[in-house]
Structure 1
Amino acid sequence: MWRSMAARSRLLMVAREFGATQMNQVLCRKPFHSFPKASLSPILHRFFSHSSANPSDDSSPGFTENGDPQLDFIAGIETSDTQVPSFEGLAVDETGMDNFVIGDSKIDMEEETQAYEIDGNKLENVLSLLQSRVDGSLESNLNAMDLDLHEDFVVKVVETPYILGENLIRFLKWVMEKPGFNVTATVVDSLVKVICSDARMKNAYDLWDLVKKIGEKRDGVLNVGVLNELIALFSKLGKGKAAMEVFDKFADFGCVPNEDSFYFTIEALCRRSFYDWGWSVCEKMLGEESLPDGERVGKIISWFCKGGKAKEAHTVYLSAKGKNKVLPRSSVNFLIGSLCKKDETVKLALEMLDGFSGDERKYAIKPFSAVVRGLCRTKNVDEAKNVILRMIEEGPPPGNAVFNSVVNGYSKAGDMEKAKEVMELMETRGLKPDVYTYTVVMSGYANGGQMDQACEVLSEAKKKHTKLSPATYHTLIRGYCKIKEFDKALNLLAEMKDFGVQPNVDEYNKLIQSLCLKVLDWQTAEKLFDEMKENGLYLNGITRSLIMAVKELEAEGTDIMESTTKA
């Protein structure tokens, strides 16, 4: 019986609250036991008397002619009407009440929760204040409003558009000083997103100061997303040191950096050319195996290549390759080219060529050419030739520039036989040796004193090309001057015009200096000087002084000889 009575009492309370809602009456949500006893005792008395007096009443409880049980029921309660509707007709699971304890159910907990409603007038006043330039103290104006601060209210203010960022930061500082209000992660997230969307230098630093203060006062409020937003903001503003400061605070705030944390920090540091700091962050990223997506890894590689850290960038490349990251081809090509600039890293670039296949390899002429040039520069010409042979078999097809690099490498090394072999291989590929090819071969022969072979190559070049370059003749003129065959050198100088080549200052300068220093032939040198003036060329002062000095020296020698003869 007592369980039945308790159940009925409970249903009475629920019906009363439901009826009040239907009538749009605002009732505070208090637990059942908190209502005044004076107002409840008559109701309960009527409820119990009705229940005991009509134990067998099966009529529908509280239903009236208009079909609305709640309205009449509530009306009866409010007017102290003695007619209390019966609940006998309601199905009540009495066995389910065995474990019922007042104030211990989920429903009771929900009833005890205070429902918060934002005061529209106060919200409008705050927004009006923050959206304008404040005359006097912002904090004083806020204090005068007597605000009932709640998380929903603060978030609503922060997320409202057209509010100055500096006012939002001051508002939150004021909120933090209010007793009873604790800044939550939701509030911080909203503020950071709003301030970061409008990249202003002063607001960024003020926001960071506020976030640090929050993190130092309360644990668990800051998260990785908030800190990443700040790092990205400082990166956008070009403030690498500030971004690094945020990154260094992760451990203090109980946060673990993720892929975005590392990426934005490295980006901020490399933008300011702090490549050493950027590499220290990158090492942590590699150690924790927290690489971002392939597109971002490619950017990191490019940044370090620009900063002269190609070897370090190669380490990032290997790590990404181990994680099966798909890197942008432009970044890989840039890395290969950067590695080829330093002798000690050319071999690393050579190894990277194995990563090309299919159509990707077919169009990779630029990185392959860079490796060939790097190998030739480091005097590893045989390996460069092997790369060409691989290119012929698997692609990309080598062009004149690649062959010329190897020909030049062999020519500088004095291995003219191999240089000629590469030239022949070039021709079998349907490529025509250009003027540069012939010039480097002639240079190789001339440096070795083999002027006859050099002239043979010149004759072959004349047959294939109607116009040669000044460098071609300069190479041979220098060679003849070296072995003191100045007549042949002068003949080449005259021949240049016949093949559309205008002698430049270098040819004249080399000949005049050789004539003056080696054979003291100032007369020929002076003729060349006059020829230069006719062609509009200017001889530098040192060489002109050399002609005068040799001329005077010869005159003095003649005078001495005449004096000696007379004596």
Structure 2
Amino acid sequence: MWRSVVARAALSRREGARSFCKSQNPKVPSFSKTLTQAESPHLSTRVSPNTYFLLQNPRFFSQISTNHSDSDSHLSEAEQSSEGFADNGDTRLENFAPDVEIHGVVDQDYVGFDDNRDAQLDSFASGDGVFGNPEQSNDAKWDSFATGEGSGDAHMETFGSGDGEGQVYEIDVEQLENLLSLLQSTVDGSLESSLDGMGLTLHEEFVVKVLETRLVLGENMIRFFKWGMKEKPEFKITSCVVDALVRGICCDLKKKDAYALWDLIKEIGEKENGVLNVEALNDLIGLFSKLGKGKAALEVFNSFGDFGCVPNVDTYYFTIEALSRRSFFDWALCICEKMLEAGSLPENEKVGKIISWLCKGRKAKDAHSVYLLAKEKNQYPPQSSVNFLISSLCREDKTVELALEMLDNFPEEARKYAIKPFSAVIRGLCRMRDVDGAKRLLSKMIVEGPPPGNAVFNSIINGYSKAGDLGEAMQIKKLMESRGLKPDVYTYTVILSGYANGGQMEEACKVLSEAKKNHPTLSPVTYHTLIRGYCKLEEFNKALELLGEMKDFGVQPNVDEYNKLIQSLCLKALDWETAEKLLEEMKEKGLHLNGITGGLIRAVKEMEEEELLLG
């Protein structure tokens, strides 16, 4: 498109000559010119093509000279020579090009050779046009070829001007450069007046070239487009032009240009039928998505029907992406439902992203529907997205079973490294108080993988402890140890909590002794559980002993331990004196009792003093 008319014509001539030599069996040139003249070193470098052809093909010349009376020989040798000439057509033309200036090629002639090949071969075989009338000889045709006489010039004028049906339009390079210089610079309100003075003719190819040029300001693109619609009747708005405009604006992520483009697209859609296509609208939705404008992207999606377009896979994906980026998950779900109804899913990577977005929006069940459709279509989202879906399903009790079913679809290789999703299902089952189901899954993990760790065992132990089934809890602890795993502080604490809640303080103390042997440092929560158990049984002395033991064992009591003891001493034992000592101890350690509990000590103390006065 960038070549001038002369350059384009020269290129067409050379290609025409090459096509002529390669694709056709050339007619034998006449001998109106002598070899001695052609071979003379004093001749001009410009020689006739038929003479040069004979000089380059002596075998062809000698055979024709000796057998010109025999038409059969003419046919045989001519065919052989034609084959050789066709095979070496490029070499001949490369040698010929520096010496001969070709003025024109009649495109219709060499294009028509393919259609008239049979007629030409028949003429060649009979000798007509080869050794007949010299005016009809090949010399005359070669001379016409070399000088450009005949219909070639007229054809080239039409070709260069772009007149007529199906002709190639040539861009005015100078005019294009001037226009681009104007559009690539920052201009004020005088852009339209500057365009008026340029005398532009807005052919489709010219406009597309302008819109596809980089560094053209998006605002100027839109103003130029609107000016063409208003001022240039020959400017035809086509899908190709609109696509180029959208692509040009989408290169620069500018919110102002994006909204201006959308207004222009709506204007075009109202005036022109069938011009807007899905690809251009998808690009616009993608632009709004990158700019974080989910509502605008949704508006474009909702306009598809008005523009006579049907959403495709990319339409749904880009719209869901745009809405999810702005956390409009309810709207994103509506688009997702339409996508599922259409049975249209993007490729696996994008399916995984849609699943993850819905999970982030707390719509795991809907994300599971996307997963099921992908499974029906033999599509497999990335494993990371599947793992995220399982974890999200386990957040709610009513969807844990869906997550459990998904575990059965894990590939054998992926299952070895899927400890996180399996652990999530175990925790969900225990939260639902389906500890037996969690135990069955644990047994399956031991046999098939992934190998369970401390977290999985602790979840089941905690589930049985809360259910008051301490016997099963201890069995799981033993199974844990048999697999070479060491119970941690959390393991002992949940078992202690189960015994303490059941009032089995003797068993709880045994577990505490075992914990102290295996772990040099325990958690304050471990002691707090026991202290609470003793206070519940109103065995305050043992509770105070545990408080002292904590200090000796390197565990510093926190506000919870003191608060629980002080409340129990005041409300149950009415021992405000011991409670007051604990309060002073707290102050020495920099701990502060809440106001309600502090007021409780004063209230009990005043009540006792009143009783003494009254008594």
Q: TM-score, normalised by structure 2?
A: 0.74
Counterpart position of 1:503: 557
Q: Distance in 1 between matches of 2:147 and 2:518?
A: 115
How far does residue 222 in structure 1 lie from its aligned partner after superposition?
Answer: 1.4
> Which of 141, 145, 162 is the equivalent residue of 2:198?
145
**Does the Cα contact within 8 Å between 2:104 and 2:148 map onto a contact in 1?**
no
Give the gaps of 5 or more residues in structure 1: 1-20, 28-55, 79-108, 562-567
Where does 1:372-391 land on structure 2 (aligned, <5 Å)?
A: 372-391=426-445
**Does the Cα contact within 8 Å between 1:62 and 1:69 map onto a contact in 2?**
no
1:354 maps to 2:429 = no
**Identity across aligned pairs (percent)?**
66
**Does the Cα contact within 8 Å between 2:499 and 2:508 map onto a contact in 1?**
yes
Change (3 A) 1:65 1:472: closer
How far does residue 195 in structure 1 lie from its aligned partner after superposition?
Answer: 0.7
Counterpart position of 2:585: 531
Q: Distance in 2 between matches of 1:70 and 1:527?
A: 121
Q: Which amino acid aligns with 2:259?
A: Y
> Which of 501, 513, 516 is the equivalent residue of 1:459?
513
**Does the Cα contact within 8 Å between 2:534 and 2:543 map onto a contact in 1?**
yes
Counterpart position of 2:461: 407
Where does 1:46-85 land on structure 2 (aligned, <5 Å)?
A: 58-61=133-136, 68-69=143-144, 74=149
Counterpart position of 1:159: 212
Change (3 A) 1:404 1:123: same
Q: Distance in 1 between matches of 2:179 and 2:212?
A: 13
Instruction: State the secondary structure of the residue aligned to 1:355.
Output: coil
How far does residue 118 in structure 1 lie from its aligned partner after superposition?
Answer: 2.0
How far does residue 74 in structure 1 lie from its aligned partner after superposition?
Answer: 4.5
1:521 maps to 2:591 = no
Change (3 A) 1:398 1:72: closer
**Does the Cα contact within 8 Å between 1:62 and 1:73 map onto a contact in 2?**
no
**Does the Cα contact within 8 Å between 2:103 and 2:148 map onto a contact in 1?**
no
Q: Distance in 2 between matches of 1:454 and 1:499?
A: 18
How far does residue 163 in structure 1 lie from its aligned partner after superposition?
Answer: 1.4
**Does the Cα contact within 8 Å between 1:204 and 1:233 map onto a contact in 2?**
yes
Q: Distance in 2 between matches of 1:364 and 1:429?
A: 19
Change (3 A) 1:452 1:57: closer
Counterpart position of 1:172: 225
Q: Distance in 2 between matches of 1:233 and 1:543?
A: 60
Change (3 A) 1:544 1:167: same
Q: Distance in 2 between matches of 1:73 and 1:293?
A: 57
How far does residue 63 in structure 1 lie from its aligned partner after superposition?
Answer: 6.8
Q: TM-score, normalised by structure 1?
A: 0.80
Give the gaps of 5 or more residues in structure 2: 1-100, 108-130, 154-161
Q: Which amino acid aligns with 1:68?
A: D
Q: Distance in 1 between matches of 2:471 and 2:493?
A: 15
When structure 1 is superposed on structure 2, of 534-543 and 150-159 the one drifting more is 534-543
**Does the Cα contact within 8 Å between 2:394 and 2:425 map onto a contact in 1?**
yes
1:184 maps to 2:238 = yes
**Does the Cα contact within 8 Å between 1:63 and 1:69 map onto a contact in 2?**
no
Counterpart position of 1:335: 389
Q: Distance in 2 between matches of 1:433 and 1:322?
A: 43
Per chain length, whose mean CA-contact separation is higher, i.e. which structure has more relative contact order (CA < 8 Å, sep 6+)? 2
Counterpart position of 2:424: 370
Instruction: State the secondary structure of the residue aligned to 2:136.
Output: coil
Q: Distance in 2 between matches of 1:233 and 1:72?
A: 56
How far does residue 384 in structure 1 lie from its aligned partner after superposition?
Answer: 0.9
1:324-383: CA deviations, max 9, x gaps?
112111111111111111121111111111122322111111111111111111111111
Q: Distance in 2 between matches of 1:272 and 1:374?
A: 30
Instruction: State the secondary structure of the residue aligned to 1:298.
Output: helix
How far does residue 299 in structure 1 lie from its aligned partner after superposition?
Answer: 0.6
Q: Which amino acid aligns with 1:441?
A: I
Change (3 A) 1:166 1:522: same
**Does the Cα contact within 8 Å between 2:364 and 2:389 map onto a contact in 1?**
yes
> Which of 133, 145, 149 is the equivalent residue of 2:186?
133
Q: Distance in 2 between matches of 1:351 and 1:65?
A: 86
How far does residue 140 in structure 1 lie from its aligned partner after superposition?
Answer: 2.4
> Which of 205, 209, 213 is the equivalent residue of 2:267?
213
Instruction: State the secondary structure of the residue aligned to 1:207.
Output: helix
Where does 1:304-319 land on structure 2 (aligned, <5 Å)?
A: 304-319=358-373
Matched residue count: 481
How far does residue 487 in structure 1 lie from its aligned partner after superposition?
Answer: 1.1
When structure 1 is superposed on structure 2, of 168-177 and 275-284 the one drifting more is 168-177
Change (3 A) 1:129 1:403: same
